[in-house]
Structure 1
Amino acid sequence: MMRVSDPDIERCMLDLLRSRVETASICPSDVARALTHDEDGWRELMPAVRDVAARMAHRQRLKITQGDATLDPDQISHGPIRLRRGPGFPASD
Structure 2
Amino acid sequence: MSTPSPAEMRSVLLDLTRRRGPAKTVCPSEAARSLAPDGWRDLMEDVRQEAYRLADDGLVDITQQGRAVDGRTARGPVRVRLR
Fold match (TM-score > 0.5): yes
| Contact 1:58/1:73 (8 A) holds in 2 | no
Residues 20-57 of structure 1 show CA distances to partners (whole Å, capped at 9, x for unaligned) of 2321110000000000111xx10000000011011111
Gaps of 5+ in 1: 87-93
What's the CA shift for 1:79? Answer: 1.5
Q: What SS does the corresponding residue of 1:12 show, helix, strand or coil?
A: helix
The aligned length equals 83
Q: Runs of 5+ in structure 2 lacking a partner?
A: none
Aligned positions of 1:13-24 closer than 5 A: 13-24=13-24
Tell me, in whole angstroms, the C-alpha distance in 1 between the residues paired with 2:80 and 2:50: 11
Larger radius of gyration: 1
Q: TM-score, normalised by structure 1?
A: 0.81
Percent of aligned positions that are identical: 39
Give the corresponding residue for 2:36: 36
1:81 matched to 2:78: yes
Counterpart residue number, 2:53: 55
Instruction: Kindly report the root-mean-square deviation, in angstroms, between the aligned alpha carbons of the 2 structures.
Output: 1.4
Task: Point out 4+ residue stretches in structure 1 off by more than 4 angstroms.
Answer: none
With normalisation by structure 2, the TM-score equals 0.90
